[in-house]
Structure 1
Amino acid sequence: MAENPWGTRAPKEPKARKDAGVLVIGLGRFGSALATTLEALGQDVLAVEKSPELVAQWAGRIPLVEADAANPEALIQLGARDFSVAVVGVGSYLEASVLITANLVDLGAPQIWAKAISHEHARILQRIGAHHVVLPESDAGTRVAHLVSGKMLDYIEVEDGFTIVKMRPPRETQGFTIAETKILERYGVTVIGVKSPGQDFVYAEPTTRISANDLLIVSGHAELLERFAARP
């Protein structure tokens, strides 16, 4: 455990635990959406919120407690170290976000996710030991930019530029099989699957034929996907 929470600390490898679920700290828009979705998916969730108004708003809808997670004693009493995952959804208040994340690191929480509102905020959270940092607004802005600029219907950047998109097939591919189009050789991207109207999703094979009304699931580098999606 480092004495100075602002010093550089490499995150330890997360260790999965089976004795508890997900601790969600902060019930703003991000935290509440996360907590309710996890609850709907059947995950064990405990939300922590210090605002009496938000606690009253969510009482009876998800398991929650009123506490200030910036206080390490509160986290100890909640058994934060026993949760498999802890999510710090407090992003707008930088000091609270950093303190809560540092408290979880000091307690040895096995896997810490933290919301950041800027790249500078993200770097601080990573340096003090958060295992995963998300920038919801930045990520959403990037995703929407790709969607409004072309024919893509959905856009997910996985890592280091590798991206998966949902798109309409370019005219030159319509009526041909995957093998006949030579999409990988010509454009450097891979068709993962095809969804035809009224049909189940199927994984793409060389003999899979592409129709004008199909939806394609395509993977590859973002720049190459942009070029492919820009085809008429």
Structure 2
Amino acid sequence: MADRNTPASAQDAGVLVIGLGRFGASIATTLDRLGQDVLAVERSADQVQHWTGRLPLVEADATNPEALEQLGARDFPVAVVGVGSSLEASVLITGNLVDIGTPQIWAKAVSAEHGRILQRIGAHHIVFPEADAGNRVAHLVSGKLMDYIEVEDGFTIVKMRPPKETQGFTIEQSKVRARYGVTIIGVKPPGQDFIYATPQTRISANDMLVVSGHSELLERFAARP
């Protein structure tokens, strides 16, 4: 458990992760590995036993506002609600965090309706892990893209092979941004590191491109032969 006597500057970096299912556990273990001050909260005794000694954690029911107060939830500027299987629990926990004034609340949602409810009661960031993963895999399975990351509101970064119409031309000559509304931000020639793209960067057939833009525009660009 986080030391409540640590200086305020250390507490500023703390993250409270509630729920140690696959989503919450992945976040908590990654933060812990990165050296972040993290405290996991789980009400299942079996899960607590599983993670004891591997994560800083407490066994508590975060749907109970008194339990949150007792474990020092007010000390954490960031909280992640990883509970998704129980809509009621997810909403109650998020509401409790809103009530104590947590500055940043990230909450997992399993449906659009769930996400709207969480947003209305005050969650600052809604995460749809299953939908996001499915969307990414669908783009990769299509064979056009080698990687796909949607950042926010449709803005996406992809890794892809260059369409034939760009091969042998500089970025300025191919006019990708003017024609397709997307931006080539990096190029990786075979056996070399990625380089930041400039208008004079010439693209070859074996290069790998890093391209940014709205997902629909990127899909059209990636669909070019």
Q: Does 1:225 align with 2:218?
A: yes
**Aligned residue number for residue 3 of structure 2:** none
**Aligned residue number for residue 103 of structure 2:** 110
TM superposition shift of 1:160: 2.9
Q: Which structure has more RCO (C-alpha within 8 Å, separation ≥ 6)?
A: 1
**Aligned residue number for residue 112 of structure 2:** 119
Letter in 1 for 2:195: V
**Aligned residue number for residue 181 of structure 1:** 174
**Aligned residue number for residue 198 of structure 1:** 191
Q: Does 1:137 align with 2:130?
A: yes
Q: Name which of 61, 67, 70 aligns with 2:63.
A: 70
Percent identity for Structure 1 against Structure 2: 78
**Aligned residue number for residue 209 of structure 2:** 216
Structure 1 segments of 4 or more deviating over 3 A?
16-20
**Aligned residue number for residue 151 of structure 1:** 144
Check whether the contact 1:113–1:130 (CA below 8 A) recurs between aligned residues: yes
**Aligned residue number for residue 39 of structure 1:** 32
* Structure 1 length-normalised TM: 0.88
Letter in 2 for 1:81: R
Give the secondary structure class of the aligned counterpart of 1:158.
strand
TM superposition shift of 1:145: 2.0
* Structure 2 length-normalised TM: 0.91
Letter in 2 for 1:97: S
Distance in 1 between residues matched to 2:13 and 2:186, nearest whole Å: 36
**1:70-89 maps to which residues of 2 (within 5 A)?**
70-89=63-82
Q: Alignment length, in residue pairs? A: 217
Distance in 2 between residues matched to 1:186 and 1:26, nearest whole Å: 46
Q: Name which of 78, 84, 87 aligns with 1:91.
A: 84
Q: Name which of 30, 54, 57 aligns with 1:61.
A: 54
Distance in 1 between residues matched to 2:143 and 2:110, nearest whole Å: 27
Check whether the contact 1:114–1:125 (CA below 8 A) recurs between aligned residues: yes
Could you say what the CA RMSD is over the residues aligned between the two structures, in angstroms? 1.6
Give the secondary structure class of the aligned counterpart of 2:177.
helix
Check whether the contact 1:22–1:83 (CA below 8 A) recurs between aligned residues: yes
TM superposition shift of 1:34: 0.6
Letter in 1 for 2:104: Q
Distance in 2 between residues matched to 1:187 and 1:63, nearest whole Å: 48
TM superposition shift of 1:17: 8.8
**Structure 1: segments with no counterpart, 5+ residues:** 1-15
**Structure 2: segments with no counterpart, 5+ residues:** 1-8
1:73-107: per-residue Cα shift (whole Å, max 9, x none)? 11001111110200000011111111111111111
